[in-house]
Amino acid sequence: MDEIVTAGLLVIGDEILSGRTKDKNIGYIAEYLTNIGIDLSEVRVVPDVEEEIVDALNALRQRYTYVFTTGGIGPTHDDITADAVAKAFGVPIDYDERIVSLMRARFTDTDLNEARMRMARVPRGADLVANSVSKVPGFWIGNVIVMAGVPQIMHSMLDAAAPKLKTGRKMLSETIHAGMREGDIGTPLAEIARAHKDVMIGSYPFSNGGLPDTNLVVRSRDPKALADAKTAVETMLERLRAHSAAKG
């Protein structure tokens, strides 16, 4: 339980890189994994090019506990993720009888054409990842979980995979609204960061009704360290506010 569990995410698709489709999966998966105690450590977006997918997948799967992929598992010629994953693992790819059965139950013989049958091809040795939306599953091989790119289907597959994932000690976080400009906080905040090496402190400027404002986010796996750092940040902000008020 104290182990740190990490993940990489590989988003596959020309449509994301051309800007035609705006990705909504990165943020969803990032938040989902954080909430179950898995640290998303890196994301890559690559085009529908087999060599690019294979290279990125091999880089990520050696570095992180898990790799999630989205996109490229549909019925058309540009859906090449399953082939690329098989190639990355150096295993053959075949029609999977479990998926063929699922598809026979869902589609008529006419509808079960060559294109749709492509979706039944998975790398040898893969487990299936259920899809409660459109039924045709994703798959899981080694430490790689292969999911659809359509958000609603991806959500279903992530829900199906999640209970089987090893999870680590959850990253806890506290957000402290500063009510002041980032540049006014930076110097004392750096001192706090130096004094609390066991927590991560992030500073995120935003426009608050047109006025510059900042959220400070303190993160740690240790509740005590988190609380201490939060108190230090709050005390610092009170001091700055008092100083600012005294100046009038």
Binder to its own copies among 202, 211, 238, 239 (CB under 8 A)?
202
Cα gap 189→202, rounded to integer Å: 10
Residue 111 binding its own copies, by CB under 8 A: yes
Site string for its own copies, 9-28 (x = CB under 8 A): --x--xxxxxxxxxx--xxx
Residue 58 binding its own copies, by CB under 8 A: no
Residue 234 binding its own copies, by CB under 8 A: no
User: Beta strand 135-141 with 39-46: parallel, antiparallel or unpaired?
Assistant: unpaired
Stretch that binds its own copies, among 7-15, 123-131, 154-162, 226-234 (CB under 8 A): 7-15
Cα gap 72→14, rounded to integer Å: 10
Residue 40 binding its own copies, by CB under 8 A: yes
Residue 113 binding its own copies, by CB under 8 A: yes
Residue 108 binding its own copies, by CB under 8 A: no
Shortest distance in whole angstroms from residue 169 CB to its own copies: 15
User: Beta strand 93-95 with 39-46: parallel, antiparallel or unpaired?
Assistant: unpaired
Query: Are 72 and 149 spatial neighbours (Cβ–Cβ below 8 Å)?
Result: yes
Partners of residue 145 on adjacent β-strands: 68, 140
Cα gap 181→179, rounded to integer Å: 7
Q: Which of 127, 202, 132 is nearest to 171 (CA)?
A: 202
**In the block, which residue shows the tokens 């009704």?**
209
Residues found near its own copies in the complex (CB under 8 A): 11, 14-23, 26-34, 39-48, 52, 74-79, 107, 111, 113-116, 118-119, 150, 152, 171, 173, 175, 182-187, 189-190, 193-194, 200-207, 217, 219
